[in-house]
Structure 1
Amino acid sequence: MKTKSLFFLLILLSFTAFSQTKTNSDDTAIKKSLTYFVNSIQSRQIGQAVSCIYPKFFTIVSKEQMTQILNMTYNNPFMKIEVQDLKFGTIEKPELITGEYFSITHYFLKLKCNVSSLSDDMRKKMSSALTGKYGADNVKYVANEGAYLINAPMKACAVAKDKKAWKFVILEKEYKKELVKILPKKILDKF
């Protein structure tokens, strides 16, 4: 009897370990792809960053427009934005919907936004916009550097056909109406 119980316990532990490994491999693949995306932005490799975006997103915003937006944001001589750190939060279990896997991924970016070349009026507007978007607790102005330090909580939807090559759509509530065109309702209902 002890042998059967021990054998049953061993099988149960193997199934548990296998299921955790499977989840972790999905998490690892998503983290690797998102890290590549963020590193591409950080190193100003905008073309590489654009290649990490879910292709269906380009039916809403063209690839050329997205490239211009990222260039204006991260290669702007008047307001230098630097990605300083990436931390991962919860990565939801991928769900298979109409032939593609979808996973909502929570992450945090630490950004430094140098506004020293802007006028006082523009800095005030920038401060208002940043605190409105990220919350007053997540935005700090460092006067001697003329820069804002921002802890930006972010969400993205990771999408893949094979659970290996993940592409991303940044999830922001103000763009939800547009995202209805490319993401399943079940995913949109989660954010």
Structure 2
Amino acid sequence: MNIQKQLITLLFITVSSIALAQETKNQIQADFTNYLNSIVNMELEKSLDYMPTEFFDIIPKAKMLEVMKQTFNNPDMEIDIKNPTILKIDDAQKIENKYYSLLTYSSQMDMKINGEEHETEEDKKLRISMTKTAFQQSFGAENVVYNDTTGFFEIQSQKDVYGISDNGKTGWKFLVLEKNQKVILEKLLPAQLIQDL
């Protein structure tokens, strides 16, 4: 009888742990979806609410907002982000006084670089070729397609992101893992999380 009670207790703890982990993943998914939607809908100031406050000790919030506005409102280019999809969410782990969960998402970014007003056909071909090469180096050749009809580059992107929470349940903030920003990431993440970057 004692063994049966122990097995029931163990089963209850296991089921409870799985349920809590799933509840946490659901909250991460909800918060990250809100973050992505704020970017897709160009609610740039709202999107900053989903970034760790420590990030703004490195790059002030007003400066970050200005850079985002300049990027998305640049008259020389058009950007449209489509179909953001969360591919996986890892279980949250506590490191020091915060919780971290690695997630992966994909999206399509359509981008058009507008040419000069009096651009020749030869200059246009060169601009498109150079831009395509740059995008292929950043995203991989298989993920970049140029649409001759629309003039847009269609870029498939997959990125890793760390969700960060103080309590491991709510208030998830997100930090996209960009290799060219390793110096910033080293200031915001525990060393064991960025060693593979």
TM-score under structure 1 length normalisation: 0.87
Matched to 2:179, the amino acid is K
Which deviates more, 136-145 or 20-29?
20-29
Instruction: Provide the rounded CA distance (Å) in 1 between the counterparts of 2:174 and 2:130.
Output: 30
Cα 1:173/1:20, change in 2 over 3 Å? same
Picking from 67, 81, 94, the partner of 1:96 is: 94
Number of matched pairs: 189
Instruction: Provide the rounded CA distance (Å) in 1 between the counterparts of 2:188 and 2:39.
Output: 23
Asked if the contact 1:116/1:147 (under 8 Å) is kept, the reply is: no
Picking from 137, 142, 150, the partner of 1:145 is: 150
**Structure 2 equivalent of residue 172 of structure 1:** 178
For structure 2, which runs of at least 5 residues remain unmatched after alignment? 117-123
Residue 166 (structure 2) pairs with residue 161 (structure 1): yes
**Structure 2 equivalent of residue 187 of structure 1:** 193
Instruction: Provide the rounded CA distance (Å) in 1 between the counterparts of 2:90 and 2:41.
Output: 28
Identity of aligned residues (%): 24
Instruction: Provide the rounded CA distance (Å) in 1 between the counterparts of 2:115 and 2:36.
Output: 25
For structure 1, which runs of at least 5 residues remain unmatched after alignment? none
Asked if the contact 1:104/1:155 (under 8 Å) is kept, the reply is: yes
TM-score under structure 2 length normalisation: 0.85
Cα 1:62/1:120, change in 2 over 3 Å? farther
Secondary structure of 1:59's counterpart equals helix
Which deviates more, 128-137 or 109-118?
109-118
Matched to 1:168, the amino acid is F
Residue 135 (structure 2) pairs with residue 135 (structure 1): no
**Structure 2 equivalent of residue 77 of structure 1:** 75
Secondary structure of 1:88's counterpart equals strand
Which deviates more, 4-13 or 107-116?
4-13
1:166-188 residue CA offsets vs partner (Å, 9 max, x unmatched): 11111111111221112111211
Matched to 2:24, the amino acid is D
Question: How big is the alpha-carbon RMSD for the aligned residues of Structure 1 and Structure 2?
Answer: 2.2
Picking from 50, 64, 80, the partner of 1:66 is: 64
Matched to 2:61, the amino acid is K
Instruction: Provide the rounded CA distance (Å) in 2 between the counterparts of 1:42 and 1:168.
Output: 16
Give the alignment of 1:13-92 within 5 angstroms: 13-92=11-90
Matched to 2:37, the amino acid is N
Instruction: Provide the rounded CA distance (Å) in 1 between the counterparts of 2:61 and 2:106.
Output: 25
Instruction: Provide the rounded CA distance (Å) in 2 between the counterparts of 1:17 and 1:151.
Output: 38
Secondary structure of 1:144's counterpart equals coil
